[in-house]
Structure 1
Amino acid sequence: MERVVLFAVGGGGDPERHRPLLDHFEAHGHRVIAPAFDRLHPQHATWDDYLARPVGLVEALRGVGPDAEVAVIGHSIGAWAALCLAGATPWGREGKPLDVPRDSRVSRLVLYTPAAGWFAAPGALDEVRTPMLVYVGELDPVVPPSQAEVLKSAPAEVDLRVVPKAGHFSFVHVPPPGMDEDPAFDRDRFLDGMVHETFEFISSR
C-alpha cells in the first residue's frame, strides 16, 4: 500500500520552512506532498481564503490512489484544514456549521498548534475517528493549550502534548523573522525529537 504524507502548511503558506521534517519522511520511503499556498492574513481573510486550504489539500491528492492511506501533518491553520479532511465540521462566527471537503483516505493526523477553536460546537468532531498526535505550546498566544482540549471530544485516540516553554512557531524549522523563543526552550533539541516522534506515530499504522 502506498505510504503518503500530506503536509498542510500554516498561515505563511511556505512548506519549505518545514524542510527537515519533510526530508525525513522522504528519506524513509514515504511519498510527501506539500502544496504551497498564498499567505493568509487572519485580520483580512474571508471564508473563501480559509476554505482554499482544505480544498487545495484535496486537489493535491488527485494523483493518489483510492486505496492509499494518507497521513496528514499540519501546523496552525494547516492543522485546522487537516481536521476538516478527517471529518471535523468547523463552525463560523454566525453560529452555523460550514461545509468543507473531506477525504476518506486520511488515516493519521499529526497536528502542531491546531486552530481548534473552530470545532468547539457540540458534535463538531463526532465524525473524526482518525488517531491524532497533537502538540501545543505552553506559551502559545495564538492557540493556547486550553483551546486544543476540545479535540479530546472526538471519538478517536488523541495524544495531546503540551510542550513546556514552546510558542506558536516553535514547531517550524525556519520561523518568521523576529520570533523570539523563551530562553529556557531548546529549539534544536525539541525539533529533532518532534520529527522522530511524528515519524514513529505515522509509521506505526
Structure 2
Amino acid sequence: MKNNNIDAENFAGYRKMEGVDDKLGTAFPIMVMYPTDTPEKEEKIGPYSLEVAKNAQPQEKVFPLVILSHGTGGTPLVYRTLARHLARNGFIVAMPEHPYNNVKDNHLENSIELLECRPGNITQTIDCLANDRNFKSFVNFDDIALIGHSMGGYTAMAAIGGVPATLPWETDDQIPKVIDVEVEERVKKVILLAPALGWFRSEGALDRINLPILLITGEKDEITPPFHGEFLLKGVKNPENIEHKMIENAGHFSFLSPFPKEMKSSSFPPSQDPEGFDRTLFQQHLEADVLHFLVN
C-alpha cells in the first residue's frame, strides 16, 4: 500500500456517517477521520475530548482507505488516537460501530448471527463510502487496508477469506458449524491487534489467506492469549506474509487509546494495563508501526 499523499502537517477531519446492515435490517454509525486543510479544534465526541476538524471538507486528493473494526461490546471511539494519527498522515479511516455488538447494545454477543453479520459490516462500510457524496471522490478503492482488534480480528480474517467455525458454547449440540461469509476482495492489507482467532482453529480454515498481515499481540493478554496468534501463524500457507510483534508486558486493552483520568478505574478493565506498562508511550510506537506497515 503506497501512499504518495503523506503529509504530517495534515489536520484530521471527523464526520459521522450511517451504514446499513442488510442481514440485520438496521442502520449503524460509521465514524470517519480523514485529511483536511481545516484546522482542528477541541470537540466533545462521546465521553472524549479530541482535537479534530468536525465536518470539515476533505483535502482535494485521493487517499488510501483503512477500515477499523472494534472489539466485542466496544466502540470505535476507543481507537480515536490511532485513527486521528492515520488521518493526519494521509489516510481516510472509517470505523463502523458493529450492530448489536457494541457498548450501547451487545445482545448478539456469542451468537452465530453475529459471526455471520460482523464481516459484512466491512463491505457495507466500504460501499457506504463509495456512495457518499462527501467521500467517494477522495477514496482510492484499489488501496484498502483493514485493522481489527480482538473480535475485530475475527471480523478481519473472516472478511478476507478465513473460514470460521463455531465454538462449542455457540451451538446447542456443541458440534462446530461452518459460518458462511462473503469474501471482501477489495482489502489489500490487514493489521491484527490482539485478535480473537479461535474460530479459525480447524485445519484448512486459513488456506485462502494470502495478504500481507501485521500481527501485534500482548505478552500479558488474558482475553486473547498468544495462542490466538498461533492459529494464524500455523494456519496460513504463506507465513512469510505475516509480520509478528509481541509487545512485552502488554495486556488486551493496551491497544486502546488512553482513557481520561476520570474514567480510569480498577472496576473498568479497558482502562487498565499490567503493572508497569505505559499505555501512552506504547500508543506512540503502535501508531508508528501501523503507519510504517501501511505505507511500505
TM-score (norm 2): 0.64
Shift of the alpha carbon at 1:184? 2.0
SS in structure 2 at match of 1:34? strand
Is 2:96 the partner of 1:22?
Answer: no
Shift of the alpha carbon at 1:13? 3.3
| Identical residues among aligned pairs (%) | 28
Shift of the alpha carbon at 1:42? 8.7
Please tell me the residue identity of whatever aligns with 1:182: P
Give me the whole-angstrom Cα distance separating, in 2, the residues matched to 1:198 and 1:46: 31
Give me the whole-angstrom Cα distance separating, in 2, the residues matched to 1:58 and 1:32: 14
The equivalences for 1:168-187 within 5 A come to: 168-174=252-258, 178-179=268-269, 180-187=272-279
Partner of 2:287: 195
The equivalences for 1:1-205 within 5 A come to: 2-37=63-98, 38-39=100-101, 41=106, 45-62=110-127, 63-64=129-130, 67-93=141-167, 94-152=175-233, 153-156=235-238, 157-174=241-258, 178-179=268-269, 180-204=272-296
- Larger Rg over CA atoms: 2
Give me the whole-angstrom Cα distance separating, in 2, the residues matched to 1:161 and 1:2: 27
Please tell me the residue identity of whatever aligns with 2:158: C
In 2 relative to 1, CA 125–42 (structure 1 residues): closer, same or farther, beyond 3 Å? farther
Runs of 5+ in structure 2 lacking a partner? 1-61, 131-138, 168-174
Which is bigger in relative contact order (C-alpha 8 A, separation at least 6)? 1
Once the two structures are superposed, residues 142-180 of structure 1 have per-residue CA deviations (whole angstroms, 9 ceiling, x without a partner) of 111022112112134111222111111110014685222
In 2 relative to 1, CA 119–30 (structure 1 residues): closer, same or farther, beyond 3 Å? same
Ranges of 4+ aligned residues in structure 1 off by more than 6 Å: none
Residues 115-124 or 23-32, more deviating: 23-32
In 2 relative to 1, CA 17–66 (structure 1 residues): closer, same or farther, beyond 3 Å? closer
In 2 relative to 1, CA 154–16 (structure 1 residues): closer, same or farther, beyond 3 Å? same
Paired residues, number? 204
Give me the whole-angstrom Cα distance separating, in 2, the residues matched to 1:76 and 1:44: 13
Give the root-mean-square deviation of aligned CA atoms. Answer: 2.2
Once the two structures are superposed, residues 112-170 of structure 1 have per-residue CA deviations (whole angstroms, 9 ceiling, x without a partner) of 11111111100000001011111111111111102211211213411122211111111
Once the two structures are superposed, residues 70-98 of structure 1 have per-residue CA deviations (whole angstroms, 9 ceiling, x without a partner) of 10011000111011111111111322321
